[in-house]
């Protein structure tokens, strides 16, 4: 700690709740929210994967309306993910342009999510080029309003169930200072440090 330096980090706000990493809404996010305590205890993180896979196979789309920077995107989508960092679910190539202090929300809208669509998107995701894939809409903004059609929809906030829709989200730029090593041979994972 005595050798660490303070670096700024963005924080997101959705209603009166704060988040550090990611928001998600869509049928896959809803399925993950439904994982019970018993499933988590029995299967651990595999429980999330199994529930997400079930929703993925159903390929259900919702109608979304996203308002940002005096623009509107409206259409059918399987999933909307809005992140402050480049990492979502351990995948650091999700939004490779994102930085923890750039003051922006990086929004990925998956308008297609069938098995063939996923097979085409995975190589792009690995190369860090998901935002240019067919069936993907990319939005970079400081403020976002999300609305969606569907019963009892809620937004997953940093892995936990959050508020319903419509919801207003904003980025609080460089709102928090965190301590990080001045020089390190460790790999950065969003705002966290992991050993190689």
Token digits of residue 187: 């790999």
Q: How many residues does the chain have?
A: 196
pLDDT tens-place string over residues 168-184:
999 999 999 999 887 75
Cα Rg of the chain, angstroms: 17
Token digits of residue 90: 């351990």
Q: Domains in the chain, ordered, with CATH?
A: 4-194 (2.60.200.40)
3-state helix, strand, coil in the chain (%, to 5): 20, 45, 35
pLDDT tens-place string over residues 89-113:
666 767 888 899 999 999 999 887 6
pLDDT tens-place string over residues 35-57:
666 766 776 555 555 555 565 55
pTM: 0.76
């Amino acid at each position: 700690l005595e050798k660490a330096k303070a670096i700024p980090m963005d924080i997101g706000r959705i209603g009166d709740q704060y988040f550090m990493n990611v928001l998600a809404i869509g049928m896959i996010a809803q399925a993950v929210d439904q994982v019970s305590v018993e499933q988590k205890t029995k299967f651990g993180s595999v429980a999330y994967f199994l529930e997400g896979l079930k929703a993925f196979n159903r390929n259900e789309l919702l109608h979304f309306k996203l308002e940002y920077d005096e623009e509107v995107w409206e259409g059918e989508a399987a999933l909307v993910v809005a992140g402050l960092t480049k990492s979502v679910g351990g995948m650091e190539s999700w939004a490779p342009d994102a930085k923890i202090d750039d003051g922006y929300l990086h929004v990925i809208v998956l308008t297609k999510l069938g098995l063939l669509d996923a097979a085409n998107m995975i190589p792009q995701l690995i190369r860090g080029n998901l935002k240019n894939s067919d069936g993907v809409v990319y939005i970079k903004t400081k403020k976002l309003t999300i609305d969606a059609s569907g019963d009892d929809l809620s937004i997953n906030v940093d892995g936990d169930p959050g508020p319903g829709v419509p919801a207003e989200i904003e980025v609080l730029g460089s709102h928090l200072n965190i301590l990080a090593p001045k020089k390190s041979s460790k790999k950065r994972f969003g705002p966290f440090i992991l050993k190689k």
